[in-house]
């Protein structure tokens, strides 16, 4: 038996692996913020551009409408029954969705979620 938050912790860890460093909140990136809680160095327009899906027009939904944009990085919403993840919150862990021709998440026979990054590297 695992602690209640263990699954969510694993999903977050997998999301960060899947998304790469761009998914880490920018208070960890000295290049876009001067320190924790500091003002973002990006303009609002540049921050929003980084949170918009390719081909999405200016003014369109940020983070696929599934998260908020913080200094050019999508912070995905956690909702029932699951979690959105990926650099632009394009993946859902409760369905085997594909994005850009790749499987984002896959539910194994024991009910656990495995992200494409985990399948490729582990």
Q: What pTM does this model have?
A: 0.52
The domain spans of the chain are: 6-121
pLDDT attached to residue 2:
43
Residues 106, 92: contact at Cβ < 8 Å? no
Stated as kind and residue range, the H or E segment containing 84 is strand 82-85
Please give the DSSP secondary-structure letter assigned to residue 72. Answer: T
| Digit-coded pLDDT (tens) for 52-89 | 998 888 888 999 888 999 999 999 987 766 778 888 98
Domain 6-121 has CATH 2.10.25.10: yes
| Digit-coded pLDDT (tens) for 20-49 | 333 444 333 446 766 667 789 999 999 999
Return d(Cα 110, Cα 53) in angstroms, integer.
Answer: 33
């Amino acid at each position: 038996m695992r602690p209640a938050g263990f699954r969510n912790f694993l999903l977050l860890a997998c999301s960060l692996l899947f998304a790469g460093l761009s998914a880490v909140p920018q208070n960890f990136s000295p290049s876009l913020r001067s320190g924790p809680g500091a003002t973002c160095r990006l303009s609002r327009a540049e921050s929003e551009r980084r949170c918009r899906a390719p081909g999405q027009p200016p003014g369109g939904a940020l983070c696929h409408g599934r998260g908020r944009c913080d200094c050019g990085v999508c912070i995905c919403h956690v909702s029932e029954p699951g979690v959105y993840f990926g650099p632009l919150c394009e993946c859902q862990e409760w369905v085997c969705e594909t994005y850009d021709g790749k499987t984002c998440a896959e539910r194994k026979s024991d009910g656990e979620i495995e992200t494409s990054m985990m399948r490729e590297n582990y």
